[in-house]
Homo-oligomer: A and B are copies of this chain.
Amino acid sequence: MSKRRVELSRIAKSLLILLKAEREGRTLSVTELLRETGMPSATFYATVRDALTSYGFAEVVANPRERVVTVKLTDRGRKLATCFEEVGLTKDLGLEEVVEEER
């Protein structure tokens, strides 16, 4: 359980950024996720990565051939991200609003 000691804002921001990227048809690398969330890599590797995967909110997949590690929402993570968006956390966390084209 200790690996799940993660800040709400870190998880919410990560999920919202991943949702935004997904809607734009982009798969984010860890590097891109860190840049877009403004999260220090130490924070990601200390708590966020394990929380994302142990809660099953996202998959962190190494692709040795391309030397890149990508982060992808699971169905559960996508649902929670959508919830965070619906309650308006995007604004609380200082992220830009994303207009979903399908709506």
Contacts and interface: CB of A to CB of B under 8 A. Distances in A.
Nearest to A1: B9
A83 interface: yes
Nearest to A78: B87
Contact of A7 (B5, B55, B79): B5
The A interface is mostly helix, strand or loop, or mixed, namely helix
A7 B4 CA distance: 9
Interface residues of A, number: 20
B76 A80 contact: no
Residue from A7, A51, A76, A79 having most chain B Cβ neighbours under 10 A: A7
A66 interface: no
Given A8-B8, A8-B51, A76-B87, 4 more contacts: A4-B8, A6-B9, A80-B87, A83-B83
